[in-house]
Amino acid sequence: MSSKAEIAIVGAGPAGLTLALALARRAMASGHDSSGGGIAVTVYDKQPSHFLAQRFDVDRSYTIDITGHGRKALEYVHATDVFDEALFEFKGLIYHHLPNVSFLPVNRIDAVTEESPGYTGSRGDICRALQQIIEEKFSGVVAFCWETGVSVESDDTGTLVEERTSGGRTVSTRSKAFDLIVGADGAGSVVRAAVERFDPTFYIQKRSTSKYCTMMELDKAETVGKELSPEWLQVFNVIPLSVAGAVGGGLGRGSARWFCQFGFTRDTIFSNVEEVKRHLRHCSPKLLDLVTDEEMEKFIERKCQHIGRSVSCNPLRSGRFVLLGDAACAFPPIGQGVNAAMESAMVLDQCIGRVWNSFTSGSEPATVVFCQALNDFDAEWRPSTDALVWLGDHLWSGNVMWMLCKGMFSSKLGLGVLSRSKDRTLSYYDVMTEAIAMEQRLRYTGWAVGALGVLGVGLTLRTLSPRQFLR
């Protein structure tokens, strides 16, 4: 057996970086020197280093809040000190006047109730913070291969073909075998595609719902700075969705740029600024004071993104391969994409930890040890992936009034899907079972009220004489 286990992580997003950090800490805690001794982790990503890339993509700059499950993963890898400095503290949601649902008793403030604060910011800031810790403390264990794509040459030997690019052209290729290959490369995962190709028992289910969104920057900086706090997500409407959040600007946490996500039920295009203004007056009038005409022109040019796709896999592993984050489970937004991705990395590391002694003692080959860990991971995490897909598909399902009633009553009872999903003490499977039970209770209540109404009308008619009835 090789003196080191070779582990490849394909994708340097939140899931891949969290796992790389967890594995590096585990190797160092096992008594090895700064080189890691027992393992060597290689992280591949097609993009440049996060410190060279933009902090955010203007067309897809959704503000991400890390709470509950994500915070638990950050504590697990001891990353909270860096995140305290790199991202904004997240306190909760503030609801502004909601013009289309003003008749509903919506709470004006939905604060995070956990003692530990959450974080809010861009995906780029999250990845920079994780990369910073790895490069400063664990460079002897984790090697980064930026601007390098991979393809699977052999599933039997775990051989990957590395393709390094520069200026859009392939400049070098080489093959390398690994004991464990982790696909953390997003919803369009090349690792998942390879597993599907060589494993006939591997099953992928894809769904699509009519959920779209377009981003708008709130660029009246002086007004925005006075009226909005970056520690809160700002909800301007729910039907259709309009929610804004801050990401670190050019100076990182010391500055803020605000982006608002506008939700649609179809691919929506605006022809001119006046159309945009009419939409804002109807759905989110307060935003008219926070956006310039120049930004509205840019908004017209931006692509309306389809965010209603979901992908789930069964199983989450095959041979030496395992899937994390969106590669394993992509779902429509419920505020848990990054949180779930980071927690999945934590769960995988915990499964590896349970068989770690067998590996470090040399009693079993690394591939055998990892196989047991991957089986445990699939059994433990797959219920959560199934639940996340269900929650994403059902959160905004049904007609508008039914959706509003579900949200209002469940929130009043403390059982709202969005808030319960942030509870670190609950698994996503627990949240799903609660939501199913709540929907059943609401349906039974509706049927009971309807039946009582019909019975009341019937009894009233029976007490009336024919002459009174005809009147």
164 class by beta-carbon count within 10 Å (0-12 exposed, 13-18 middle, 19+ buried):
middle
pLDDT band (50, 70, 90) for residue 400: very low
35-60 residues labelled b (16+ CB within 10 A) or e (exposed): ebbbbbbbbbbbeeebeeeebbeeeb
Q: Where in the chain is the domain with CATH 3.30.9?
A: 88-117+210-307
Report the distance separating Cα 22 and Cα 39, nearest Å: 12
For residue 178, the model assigns a pLDDT of 96
Of the given ranges (39-43, 99-103, 320-324, 417-421), which has the lowest mean pLDDT?
99-103
Higher pLDDT, 99 or 60: 60
- Count of beta carbons in the 10 Å neighbourhood of residue 293: 10
Please count the other Cβ atoms lying within 10 Å of the Cβ belonging to residue 4: 18
List pLDDT tens digits, range 128-176. Answer: 999 999 999 999 999 999 999 999 988 888 999 999 988 778 888 999 9
pLDDT of residue 99: 61
| Region of poorest pLDDT, from 191-200, 213-222, 388-397 | 388-397
Check whether 84 has a pLDDT greater than 80: yes
pLDDT above 80: residue 345: yes
pLDDT reported for residue 17: 98
Q: Is the pLDDT of residue 335 over 60?
A: yes
State both tokens at 363: 């009693």
Find the mean pLDDT for residues 230-239.
88
Are the beta carbons of 180 and 359 closer than 8 angstroms? no
CA 454 to CA 92: how far, in whole Å?
43
* Ordered strands of the 39-44 beta sheet: 142-145, 39-44, 5-10, 180-183, 321-323, 317-318
Give Cα separations from 441 to 124, 407, 446 (angstroms): 42, 13, 8
More confidently predicted of 315 and 397: 315
Per DSSP, the three-state class of 32 is coil
How does residue 466 score in pLDDT terms, banded at 50, 70 and 90?
Answer: low
Confidence of residue 93 (pLDDT cuts 50, 70, 90): confident
Alpha helices in 94-243 (DSSP H): 123-137, 190-198, 221-227
What is the DSSP track for 360-376?
HTTSS-HHHHHHHHHHH
pLDDT band at 89 (very low <50, low <70, confident <90, very high): very high
- What is the model's pLDDT at position 342? 98
d(CA 407, CA 401): 10
Q: Does domain 88-117+210-307 have CATH number 3.30.9?
A: yes
Reply yes or no on whether the pLDDT at 104 is more than 80: no
Radius of gyration of the CA atoms of the chain, in A: 25
Question: CA angle, corner 44, sides to 41 and 49, nearest 5?
Answer: 110
pLDDT at 55 over 70: yes
Q: Where in the chain is the domain with CATH 3.50.50.60?
A: 5-54+122-206+310-394
Task: Confirm if 45 and 146 have CB atoms less than 8 A apart.
Answer: yes
> Does the domain at residues 5-54+122-206+310-394 carry the CATH identifier 3.20.20.210?
no
What pLDDT is stored for residue 57 in this prediction? 83
Beta bridge pairs of residue 29: none
SS3 category, 390: helix
Q: Is cis: bond before 315, omega within 30 of 0?
A: yes
Distance CA 281, CA 262 (A): 13
Of 66-75, 218-227, 293-302, 449-458, the poorest mean pLDDT is in: 449-458
